[in-house]
């Protein structure tokens, strides 16, 4: 009776066990196939080159049926870093900051040279000249670096010190601009005078005609003042006016830039604006004196641009 009971119990429990094993094997095989297909599809979509584990190289039907371990590791490729989140500076803004810094240093070098040369020319002796040179160079260096220092102090909360720095910069900037005005005016006037006094064919012809008229007058008026003497004197006056007119024409062409600018402004405005020669000369003088002294401002802008592009 016991044997019949045991025999009847074993088949009842043995058959479901085989079914569960087969089901587990099929589910494990199906899972591995799905996992392998997912990994292959991910690699084809992302174009990543990675090495698969050895389990992916074995067909599922050759794997053990009871191998229902955890899921296989899925190879992953690191996501590309965002250049903005990684802190990489945009190339264009970084290049603009570099070029602006180079321009600021170039203008600063020109300004230092101008101020040093003009300050030294004011000395009555060699020692005084070198002392003026030192003052001019030091003042221009202060005008170059003080804007960046004052702006940094202002942002760090030291407002009083920053205001003192800006006040010092204003003094050195005005000093540098006045030195630039002296340098530009001296050289421009020398060049203009040299150009105005040059001998042109018109001036040479007028000068020769005047000399002949003066010689004829002297011969005619040697014996006394008469009708012919007065005619020769009038001829001398006429030849002198021609010479003055020729020399004035040369003087006007000595500053061809101002003359062309005046004509251009008059043409653009339709004759409503007619600036004089002195107006454009003053504008040019201000620009020539001011531009070499703005290196400090350009350096400040370049510094802030580089900081913002790196942020």
Amino acid 84: pLDDT: 45
Mean pLDDT of the chain: 74
Residue 77 lies inside a defined structural domain of this protein: no
Residue 8, pLDDT above cutoff 50: no
Amino acid 58: pLDDT: 56
Using the structure block, give the residue that is written with the tokens 């067909």: 59
Amino acid 311: pLDDT: 59
Nearest to 120 by CA among 169, 187, 182: 182
pLDDT category, 15, cuts 50, 70, 90? Answer: very low
pLDDT top residue among 122 and 277: 122
Least confident of 17-21, 127-131, 240-244: 17-21
55 and 127: one domain? no
12 and 132: one domain? no
Residue 6, pLDDT above cutoff 50: no
143 and 48: one domain? no
Least confident of 134-138, 270-274, 302-306: 302-306
Residue 69 Ramachandran class (φ > 0 left, ψ -120 to 50 alpha, else beta): beta
Using the structure block, give the residue that is written with the tokens 């020398």: 190
Q: Helices in the chain by DSSP H: which ranges? A: 2-46, 91-121, 126-155, 159-196, 201-220, 227-253, 256-268, 277-290, 295-310
pLDDT category, 282, cuts 50, 70, 90? Answer: confident
The pair of three-digit structure tokens given for residue 295, joined into one six-digit string: 């290196």
Angle at which helix 159-196 crosses helix 227-253, to 10 degrees, equals 140
106 and 43: one domain? no
Total tally of structural domains belonging to the chain: 2
137 and 240: one domain? yes
220 and 100: one domain? yes
Residue 110 lies inside a defined structural domain of this protein: yes
Report phi then psi at 237, rounded to 5: -60, -40
Last residue of a domain, one of 62, 81, 112: 62
Say which residues have a Cβ less than 8 Å from residue 42's Cβ, sequence separation at least 6.
48, 74
Amino acid 164: pLDDT: 92
Amino acid 40: pLDDT: 53
Residue 272, pLDDT above cutoff 90: no
Least confident of 65-69, 139-143, 246-250, 253-257: 65-69
The mean per-residue pLDDT over the stretch 95-114 comes to 87
Say which residues have a Cβ less than 8 Å from residue 135's Cβ, sequence separation at least 6.
119
Residue 265, pLDDT above cutoff 70: yes
Amino acid 86: pLDDT: 45
Least confident of 148-157, 287-296, 297-306: 297-306
250 and 170: one domain? yes
Residue 73 lies inside a defined structural domain of this protein: no
Cα gap 189→126, rounded to integer Å: 25
Amino acid 203: pLDDT: 78
Say which residues have a Cβ less than 8 Å from residue 43's Cβ, sequence separation at least 6.
50, 75
Amino acid 21: pLDDT: 52
98 and 54: one domain? no
For 30-73, the pLDDT digits (tens) are 666 666 666 555 555 544 444 445 555 555 555 555 544 444 44
Residue 119 lies inside a defined structural domain of this protein: yes
Instruction: Count other Cβ atoms within 10 Å, centred on residue 198.
Output: 10
Amino acid 24: pLDDT: 52
Residue 87, pLDDT above cutoff 60: no
128 and 250: one domain? yes
Q: 175: domain range? A: 93-310
Cα gap 229→127, rounded to integer Å: 62
Instruction: Count other Cβ atoms within 10 Å, centred on residue 183.
Output: 22
Amino acid 201: pLDDT: 79
Last residue of a domain, one of 45, 62, 79: 62
């Amino acid at each position: 009776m016991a044997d019949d009971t045991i025999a009847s119990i074993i088949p009842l429990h043995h058959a479901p066990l085989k079914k569960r094993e087969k089901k587990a094997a099929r589910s494990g095989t199906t899972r591995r196939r799905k996992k392998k297909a997912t990994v292959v599809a991910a690699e084809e979509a992302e174009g990543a080159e990675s090495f698969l584990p050895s389990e992916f190289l074995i067909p599922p039907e050759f794997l053990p049926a009871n191998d229902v371990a955890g899921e296989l590791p899925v190879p992953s490729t690191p996501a590309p870093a965002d250049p903005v989140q990684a802190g990489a500076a945009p190339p264009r803004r970084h290049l603009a900051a570099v070029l602006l810094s180079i321009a600021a240093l170039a203008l600063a070098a020109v300004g230092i040279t101008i101020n040093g040369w003009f300050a030294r020319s004011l000395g009555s002796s060699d020692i005084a000249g070198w002392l003026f040179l030192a003052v001019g160079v030091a003042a221009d260096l202060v005008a170059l670096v003080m804007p960046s220092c004052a702006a940094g102090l202002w942002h760090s909360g030291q407002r009083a010190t920053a205001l003192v720095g800006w006040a010092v910069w204003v003094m050195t900037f005005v000093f540098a601009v006045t030195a630039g005005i002296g340098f530009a005016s001296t050289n421009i006037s020398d060049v203009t005078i040299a150009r105005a006094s040059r001998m042109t064919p018109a001036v040479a012809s007028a000068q020769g005609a005047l000399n002949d008229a003066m010689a004829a007058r002297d011969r005619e008026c040697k014996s006394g003042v008469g009708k012919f003497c007065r005619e020769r004197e009038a001829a001398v006056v006429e030849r002198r006016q021609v010479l003055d007119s020729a020399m004035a024409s040369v003087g006007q062409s000595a500053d061809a830039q101002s003359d062309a600018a005046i004509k251009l402004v008059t043409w653009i405005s339709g004759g409503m604006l007619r600036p004089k020669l002195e107006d454009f000369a003053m504008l040019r003088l201000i620009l020539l004196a001011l531009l070499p002294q703005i290196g400090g401002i350009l350096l400040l802008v370049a510094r802030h641009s580089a900081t913002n592009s790196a942020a």
